[in-house]
Each structure stands twice: as structure tokens, then as C-alpha cells.
Structure 1
Amino acid sequence: MQAIAYYDGKIGAPEELMVPFNDRVHFFGDGVYDATVGANGKVYLLRDHLDRFYTSAKALDIHIPMEKAALGELLTDLLGKVDGTTHFVYWQVTRGINDRNHVYPEGMPGKLWVMIRPNHLNDPDVPIRLVTAPDTRFYHCNIKTLNLIPSVMAAQDAARRGVQETVFHRDGIVTECAHSNVSILKDGVFYSHPNDELILRGIAKTHMIQACYRLGITVMEKPYTLDDLRAADEIIVTSSSNFCLHACELDGAPAGGKDPGTLKAIQDAVLQEYYDYTGKTSVLD
């Protein structure tokens, strides 16, 4: 074969295999991978790569559906079916198949993927050219990317703790939640993290801020601290499917509940916009 693919027990050409729509990799980038070269029927440094692969999966609570030795045998067997003498050997495991939800069923079986194709190694005697760029790989929270593994893990941890959301922070500054924005009320002023590369600009949050302006509530889009969060009169969590929730507990301690009047005014204004737009009369139906 020119190239070979494997998915959950099925083997074929890469263009032939079909992946279920609800494989979580499609929604969350929810998986881990490893890769190496193959030469003359041998997967190079197979044990080292398998050790790293299983370590990565364990760190994310992903269950690989076969033991390490069996996977090594599978990779070697598949490699022997591909034309050529030098190959690119790639494999990954996704968390599995389930309806789209950040929280996943505990212990769900993962789905194994393999792809092997002919390849060649570059000549080490031929020099290459380089450029430099700032390392911003962890500063793209403002992009609604499919790579949501940190949010998935935070949401799952919250579910295990019996709470509904996780608030992220950097260097003591509150940013956002695992899949929501978080804002606070203090002394009648609405505070929210500015729309920069550290948070996703929430549509629901934006409309809530507009509601505050209509209500004459002062809005401060500026960084605030964990201490500010703990001392807030109200903590407000917003997303496109939960417009204006409020918190009663933070890290096991009571939170909010000190400015219900302002909170209710904001909630009413946000919900009224929803009702006017959709013709609905309740968020519960």
C-alpha cells in the first residue's frame, strides 16, 4: 500500500476510513499523539515513543484501548504493509465518542488512530534557514479554537468537585472560566477583564456590558485580582448558553449575595433582550 490508516480496529487507505461525527477530537482537539520514523520494517525508538504516548494519555485521563506491547505490535505490523523502506509513523488516541459536552463520562474508552506513509529523512549536510518569532503559543485565549483540552480538564475537575465552573487566573489576575466569562460587581461598579489575548471576547458578556450602560451602571474593563473576586459583592458568569449566572460559593467559601438588586437589574435587562429577539417568554422552556 502507498499509505495505511487505522481507526478503532478498521484498516484501509487514509481516504477510505470514516471517523464518527461525535469523536471528541472534532469538537475539542481532545487527544494525544506521538510520531517517529520507520525504516526497514522497524519503528524507530518504539519503546521511547510508546512510553511518552502512554504518559501523555495518562496525564489527560485518556484511556488507550490496548496495552503498550499490543500497540507496538500493531504499529510494526501496519508498517510492514506500506510500500517503501523509510516511513512516517503517526498514531494518536482520542478520548472517544460522546455527545458534545466539556464534561465527559468517567472511564470512557478511547479511540486509537494510526497513519503510516512513505517518507524520507532530510540530508543533514544541507543547511536550513531560520527566523525568530515571539512564543505566543499560550496566549491565544482570544481565539475560539477547537483545541480545548485545558478547558475540558478544568470542566471535568469541576464536575468531580460538585461545582459548575472553574475560574482561571494568571499571576493572581482573574482571566476567564473554563467555558465562560466571569465578571464582578463591587460597590455598584461592574468589573470585567479587558478583551485581550488572555480571554475570549464573550458575546454574552459584551451584551451584558451594553445592558449595564443602559442601566447607568459604571463599567470598568480592567484586570482584577483573586482577592477582588473573593471580596466581590456579586460574581457573574456568562456564556452564549448561560447569559447571566451568579455564584454563591468560591473555593468552598460563601461568595456574592451582597448586591442582589443590581444583579437582578442586569439579569432582567439581559433576559429582556433575549425575549425581544427570540419571542420567547422564559429561559426554562
Structure 2
Amino acid sequence: MSLTYLYQDRFVSKEELQISPEDRGYYFGDGVYEVFRVYHGRLYEAAAHFERWEKSAAALRIPLPLPSGELTGRLEELIRINGLSEGTVYMQVTRGAAPRSHPFPADTKPILMAYTTEARRPLNTMKEGISAVTMEDIRWLRCDLKTLNLLPNVLAKQHAVDQGAGDVILHRNGTVTECSASNIMIVKDGAVITHPANHLILHGITRAVVLRLAQGLGLSVRETPFTLKELRAADEVFITGTTVEVTPVISVDGVPVADGRPGEITRRLQNEFEKTISF
């Protein structure tokens, strides 16, 4: 079945999409995006996603063509039209089309586009865990903005693939930041520790949910930088993200994390997360 797309304020087929070759998203990655998880045909944590969407667009000075309240309804309709029960909604906006020139063009019209994708939950890796490798984080210093400039993340993920690993753990001069497309947390002596939500990491929606769940379990939560040395001495390591949910990391650079099995606190957080998606 051919999928329907949201283009500007209309629902169209893929063949009807009219994206100009002069779109600044092609030239400069001049745009922002969001990926929403869909469970049981419903957007998960929609308000948090839209808050980040608006923040990123404002920082890039891209006027949004539709207010978030109206756009929420359009995405819900897109899900219904495409019959999506479980998967994702990808949404992006670019500054628009204009002859190639670095300064903001005067009269462009932002281009909005969204589509749905069926995707199963990563139940196997959530149960068994993944391996990870480390890599220096040399991206720009506004990682808190969810822009289309993802080539550094693509290269990082490919580095993990080349090493036969599930993901890469990025660090700046030995201080762990995040992964290629997810946030990372460690557990030490019963405390959940993760990098603070500043300009060096993306403020993950699932990250925020998991921190709330940890606090609800009475766990100590510390948003503070930690080092590669502390990562390797952790009792547990796990990543969080829209598509990975809460996934254990059982080895780093070929060395097992603790006993090389998913830890108790990770399992407890997975169980609590499961409750949040059981509408």
C-alpha cells in the first residue's frame, strides 16, 4: 500500500511531493526534525517532542508553518490514514528553497514534511544487551539542537558497525557525552548517572522519561559528567532513545560491563518504561 505523506498542510502521495533541488535542507542541512514513537496508534510523549521541535526551530530562526497544536492533529490523522499501529513518525522542516547562498534568504517559505514508518520494538536487544565501542566526539557544540546536520552521527554509527558493535559511545577528551543516536547512562553503587542536559548532548525525550522513572523508584539520579574510566568501572550501562527504548550495554571496547549481563536496575527501568507505553 502506498503511504500518505504530510506536505505543508496537505496529505499527499509520495509521487506528489514537490521538494525543490534548491531546498536549503540539501545545501546546508538547514532544518530541524523530530522522530516520534508510535505505540498502539498513538504518539508517545508528543508534548515533549513538540517542545524540543519549537526550541530547535527558534534557535535556527526558522518560522514554523503550523503551530504545534494544529500539527499534532495532522500527525494523528497521518497515523490514522496510514493505519500505523507501531512504528515512528518522522517530521522535518527546512528553511525553504532559494539560490545557494550562506545568509538567510529574505523571502523563503519553510517546507514541512512528515511520514510514517512501521517499526517493531527492539525486544531482543533490550533483553540481551548490545556491545559498544568508544570514539572521540568532535561534533559541533550545539548538540542540543535536533538539526538535519547528522553526518558526524552517521560516521560514528558506521564506526560502530565496522567494529561489529551495536553503537558508539562518544567522549570529549575522556568525558562521556552520548551515543550516535541515543543517550547513555551508567549505574554505580545504585545511582543512575548521565551527562547533564546542556549543549553537548541532545536532550532525549526517552532520557527524560527514564530519569523520572528512576526517581519514582527512589533511585539516586545524578546529572553530572562521567569519564571513560568511570564508564568502564560501572556496575551497569544502558542507552535510551525513541527507537532503542532502554537497551543494556554489556560490553565496551570488547571488555564486559561488570559480569557482562544486563543489570538489575536496568531491568527495573525497562519494566517501568513498559508501563508508560501500555495505554
TM-score of the pair, normalised by structure 2? 0.51
Letter in 1 for 2:153: S
Letter in 1 for 2:177: T
Which residue of the other structure, out of 224, 247, 250, is the alignment partner of 2:249? 247
Q: 2:273 aligns to what?
A: 270
Distance 1:26 1:159, change over 3 A: farther
Distance in 1 (CA, whole Å) between partners of 2:185 and 2:253 is 16
Kept in 2: contact 1:26–1:146 (CA 8 A): no
Distance in 2 (CA, whole Å) between partners of 1:187 and 1:202 is 24
Which residue of the other structure, out of 204, 226, 238, is the alignment partner of 2:240? 238
Kept in 1: contact 2:27–2:100 (CA 8 A): no
Unaligned runs of 5+ in 2: 1-17, 31-89, 91-98, 102-138
Deviation at 1:243, TM superposition (A): 1.1
Distance in 2 (CA, whole Å) between partners of 1:249 and 1:198 is 24
Q: 1:112 aligns to what?
A: none
Letter in 1 for 2:243: S
Kept in 1: contact 2:250–2:262 (CA 8 A): no
Count of paired positions: 159
Q: 1:199 aligns to what?
A: 201
Distance 1:241 1:171, change over 3 A: same
Deviation at 1:260, TM superposition (A): 2.3
Distance 1:214 1:150, change over 3 A: same
Considering fraction of residues, name the structure with more strand: 2
SS at match of 1:249: strand
SS at match of 1:275: coil
Kept in 2: contact 1:233–1:259 (CA 8 A): no
Deviation at 1:241, TM superposition (A): 1.1
Aligned residues with identical type, % of pairs: 34
Unaligned runs of 5+ in 1: 1-15, 30-100, 102-114, 118-136, 277-285
Q: 2:46 aligns to what?
A: none
SS at match of 1:185: strand
Q: 1:154 aligns to what?
A: 156
Letter in 2 for 1:265: R
Deviation at 1:213, TM superposition (A): 0.8
Question: Which of structures 1 and 2 has the larger relative contact order (alpha carbons within 8 angstroms, sep 6+)?
Answer: 2
Q: Superposition pairs for residues 177-216 of structure 1, below 5 Å?
A: 177-216=179-218
Distance in 2 (CA, whole Å) between partners of 1:188 and 1:200 is 25
Kept in 2: contact 1:192–1:220 (CA 8 A): yes
Distance in 2 (CA, whole Å) between partners of 1:152 and 1:25 is 16
Kept in 2: contact 1:168–1:177 (CA 8 A): yes
TM-score of the pair, normalised by structure 1? 0.50
Q: Superposition pairs for residues 25-64 of structure 1, below 5 Å?
A: 25=26
SS at match of 1:166: strand
Distance in 1 (CA, whole Å) between partners of 2:232 and 2:154 is 24
Distance in 2 (CA, whole Å) between partners of 1:116 and 1:188 is 53
Distance 1:149 1:210, change over 3 A: same
Q: 1:88 aligns to what?
A: none
Deviation at 1:261, TM superposition (A): 2.0
SS at match of 1:169: strand
